[in-house]
Amino acid sequence: MDKNKLQTQAEQRLIADYYENLTKSFDQRITEEGRERIHKAFEFANSAHAGVKRKSGEPYIVHPIAVAMIVSQEIGLGATSIISAILHDVVEDTDYTTEDIKNLFGEKVAKVVDGLTKLSDEITSQHDSKQATNFRKMLMTLSDDIRVILVKLADRLHNMRTLDSMPTPKQLKIAAETLYIFAPMAHRLGLYSIKTELEDLSLKYKQPETYNQIVFRLRNQQERREYLVNEFVQPIQNQLQNEGIDFTVSGRLKSIFSIWNKMQTKGISFDEIYDLLAIRIVFKPKTNISEKRQCFDILSLITDIYKPKPDRIRDWITIPKANGYEALHVTVMGPQGKWVEVQIRTERMDVIAERGFAAHYKYKGVHSIESELDKWLEKIRETLRNPESDALEFLDEFKMNLYTSEIVIFTPKGDMIPLPKGATIIDLAYEIHTDLGNHCIGAKINHKLVPVSYVLQSGDQVEILTSKTQAPDLEWLKFMSTAKAKTKVKQAFKLDKKRHLEKGQEIIEEKLKQYKIKPSADTLKKLAAHYNLSNKDQLYAHVGMGFIQIDDLESILKTRRENKLAKYWKISFGKNKNNQGRELELMLPKTQINKKNTFLLKEDPDERNYTLAKCCQPIPGDDVLGYMTSNNHVIIHKTKCPEANKLMSQHGDRIITAEWTNFKKRSYLTRIKVSGFDRIGIVNEVTNIISKQSNINMRTVMFDTHDGIFEGDLYIYIHNLGDLNKLIARLMKIKGIDTIERIENIEN
């Protein structure tokens, strides 16, 4: 039977419309020969996917065409990338192989498609996260072609745009993975508009109520904003026209995710965000005058009209961002007493700002030595060449490399070296050369001696000091910041793996012997899990190399007999860097949990088969999700918890939806911070409302006053979120109280 007959006439019309829109997005980039190859790829993929539907009910081929549309129109790539996008799911979902793709469409397309093809369950390590393994494989192709990542970002963007048809656990997993890896990746590659949309869509599915509230507030203020823009822009336009500058002016609203993120990090309300709006001036530069000078001339014209905020002038032209972004930013006091950010760019800068390096990246192997992107890709390749790191370790290292909050360091000769914020002397040493890092003993900054642990500040001029007798030190790992430096130090201690394994096994068995515990597979598995390692060999190696000191064995392996028939292990993860606040109870016998159904959280201790995560301290009423361990135990996290976000990105298949039942008996330790203007009796009023009027027990109460301002740190026992909100509402009525904030992290 002809596969195309499996498609109805309506479906064929829909597919034809999608493909026609794709062809309309082509410009002079796509030659006639390229268009023919693209059409051949479309016919091939349409036949291969015939009869297959998406969750939304649409023919499957609609998805690859939509991805190709993003690749063509929103990223601006050529024929090879468009063909790869159309074919990106053929090898994974049909009987065709990468070899077939190579024979039909050439080696380049085959390599990109292979990089985009996910691994099957059979060849995915049981210890590593499937997503992390897939991502690592995909990044391997960076050695040959960055188009793999660009097409993957387009694929992820279309999946996020059509996430409505997915079940909630799948939505949470995909949204978290997007926020954890793909949005930072888009930012790192300079794809600002794609990064913004990925972040906004992730928030929409992770925290729908918060997302909708911000959207509502923005719509409410739209008319007022438009008036402000017109009033603000008019005098600037007049001045630029008088100067004979060819320009366009537009307003850019801060993204929903950026607004939410600022509210979280700064602890402020929606109304306190002063840079909701930015005005963008894009101009056509005059020839024979430097772009930088012309940008500063426009800045001067603007600051003649409006007074600038001195600490809010950002020069990204002299030193562009790591992703290539160039612009001049200034925040000025506009009409109605509102701060307004103005962004000044040339047309060239604007193209790079929207499409990043994808707009002009050279694919034919002609790499510019000065390209920041090439330097970054080389760092990724270095990480990939390290055979010792497992997929999860790699994902963490890669994530670290995505952070673009950078500082600039100067060498004694005046060369600039960009480093992530928080980098130390030893990070800088390894950034310059491995030998320099291995023998580093300190540095001189402004003729002053500083240790290897010194945290660098942007603008420091640093002279690295070395000694032939110095060697890499495991203590360095505690304060190192960059993945490259950490990898180099670890490699120095991995020269004799077998010896380390034997030494580690000997140390662990000796420790277990002291507590009369047999080194069984189950015991070793629990120890490895505690330190976030995949298997016993990794555990032995880390102990043998001295990365892990097993001094807290007693607290890790606690056994307790409930009766003659049952006992359970309780493993409590300490607050180390990778496992901060994660708690896990492994129980026997196992409880069967249906991942498709919502997991109900019950108050009855006899029916409890879950643990509340220490990292975010959820209380009944919070929006939560469950992380199911390998032993069918569930750990409950808040949906907005960073640790939960990481778990969803790395172990999305173990995430389940969870809901509270009615909680009224038990109380949960909660921390709130209160601040305001000090006056006699205010502390007494606060404690009176908590203990007497609200009948809430307090564990710890600390108040501090200075210069007429008071701050209170209170640890209280709350039944549920409703009770907490009522308490906060009562406290806010006290004269002098200014802010009340719930603190997620409770330090016991």
- Phi-psi label, residue 550: left if phi above 0, alpha if psi -120 to 50, beta otherwise: beta
Total residue length of the chain:
748
- Residue 476: strand, helix, or coil: helix
Q: Using alpha carbons only, how large is the chain's radius of gyration in Å?
A: 29
What are the structure tokens assigned to 237, written together?
A: 């336009």
Query: DSSP H helical segments within 285-433, as ranges?
Result: 291-305, 347-355, 372-385, 391-402, 425-432
What are the structure tokens assigned to 175, written together?
A: 């949204």
- DSSP letter for each residue of 484-501: HHHHHHHHHT-S-HHHHH
Distance CA 379, CA 391 (A): 17
Query: Active site residue: 93, 354, 374, 685, which one?
Result: 93
Report the alpha-carbon angle 167-168-170, nearest 5. Answer: 70
Report the chain's terminal Cα–Cα distance, integer Å: 68
417 burial via Cβ count (<10 Å: 0-12, 13-18, 19+): middle
Contact 422, 482 (CB under 8 A): no
Instruction: Give the Cβ contact number of residue 543 at 10 Å.
Output: 24
Distance CA 209, CA 215 (A): 10
Distance CA 485, CA 493 (A): 13
CA 29 to mean position of chain CA atoms: 33
583: which strand partners? 572
What are the structure tokens assigned to 4, written together?
A: 């195309």
Instruction: Answer yes or no: 510 catalytic.
Output: no
Which candidate, 699, 728, 731, 696, places its Cα nearest to that of 715?
A: 699
Which candidate, 675, 653, 536, 698, places its Cα nearest to that of 177?
A: 653
Report the alpha-carbon angle 186-191-194, nearest 5. Answer: 75
Which candidate, 300, 349, 295, 307, places its Cα nearest to that of 331?
A: 307
Distance CA 52, CA 146 (A): 30
Contact 432, 399 (CB under 8 A): no
Amino acid, single-letter form, for residue 740: I
Q: Strand 462-466 relative to strand 709-718: parallel, antiparallel, unpaired?
A: unpaired
Distance CA 67, CA 70 (A): 5
- Residue 586: strand, helix, or coil: strand
Which candidate, 331, 328, 332, places its Cα nearest to that of 349?
A: 328
Instruction: Answer yes or no: 200 catalytic.
Output: no
395 burial via Cβ count (<10 Å: 0-12, 13-18, 19+): buried
| Residue 605 DSSP symbol | G
Distance CA 150, CA 81 (A): 9
Query: Active site residue: 17, 20, 43, 92, which one?
Result: 92
| Residue 75 DSSP symbol | I
What are the structure tokens assigned to 606, written together?
A: 């006899």
Contact 507, 468 (CB under 8 A): no
* C-alpha separations of 556 from 549, 563, 612, 627, 631 in Å: 13, 21, 18, 20, 17
Contact 279, 329 (CB under 8 A): no
Q: Strand 655-660 relative to strand 599-601: parallel, antiparallel, unpaired?
A: parallel
Residues annotated as catalytic (active site), given as ranges: 92-93
